[in-house]
Structure 1
Amino acid sequence: MDWIPIVFVTFKVLVLGIGMFFAIKWHYDRGNKETDKQKEKRAVLRAAGQVAAAFLLALLGLGLITYFLVSRIGLNLTMP
C-alpha cells in the first residue's frame, strides 16, 4: 500500500516531464520554421528589388542610347 503513491507520483512526474520536453521542442522547432519563412520572404523581396533595379537601368540605358543615336543622325528633337 505504501508503494502505490511512489509509483503513481513517479509515473506522473515522468509523463509530465516527457510532455513538457516535447512541448518545448515543438515550440522551438515552430519558431525556427517562422525564421525560415522570414528569410525566404526577405530573399524574395531582395530578388524582386534586383529585377526592378535591372529593369530601370536597362530602360535608362536604352533611353540614353536612343537619344545619342538620334542626335548623331541629326533628327529634329524639338517639341512642337
Structure 2
Amino acid sequence: MDWIPLLFVTFKALVLGVGMFFAIKWHYDKGKTTNEKRAVLRGAGTAAAIFVLALLGLGLFTLVLVRKLGLDMSI
C-alpha cells in the first residue's frame, strides 16, 4: 500500500513535466512563425472595444432595471 502514493506522484510529475515541455515548445514555435504586430494590435483593439461595449451595455441594463424597479439611487 505504500507504493501507491509514490507511483501516483511520479506519474503526476512526469505528465506535468511533459505537458509543460510541449506547452513551452508550442509557444516558442508559434512566436517564431508569427511576428505580425499589426494583427496582434488589431486583436487587442477588438478585444478592448468588445469589453467597453459590454461594460456600457451592462451599465445601461442596470440603469433601466433600477428605474423600472423604482429603487432610489440618489447620492
TM-score, L = length of structure 2: 0.53
Identity %: 60
| Dislocated runs of 4+, deviation >6 Å | none
* Alignment correspondent of 1:42: 38
State the structure with more CA Rg. Answer: 1
Aligned-partner SS, 1:76: coil
Task: Compute the displacement of 1:54 (Å).
Answer: 0.1
Task: Compute the displacement of 1:41 (Å).
Answer: 0.5
Among 40, 45, 62, the alignment partner of 1:66 is 62
- Could you tell me which runs of 5 or more consecutive residues in structure 2 were left unpaired when the two chains were aligned: 1-33
TM-score, L = length of structure 1: 0.50
Counterpart Cα distance in 1 of 2:63 and 2:52: 16
- Structure 1 segment 1-80 matched on structure 2, within 5 A: 37=35, 40-79=36-75
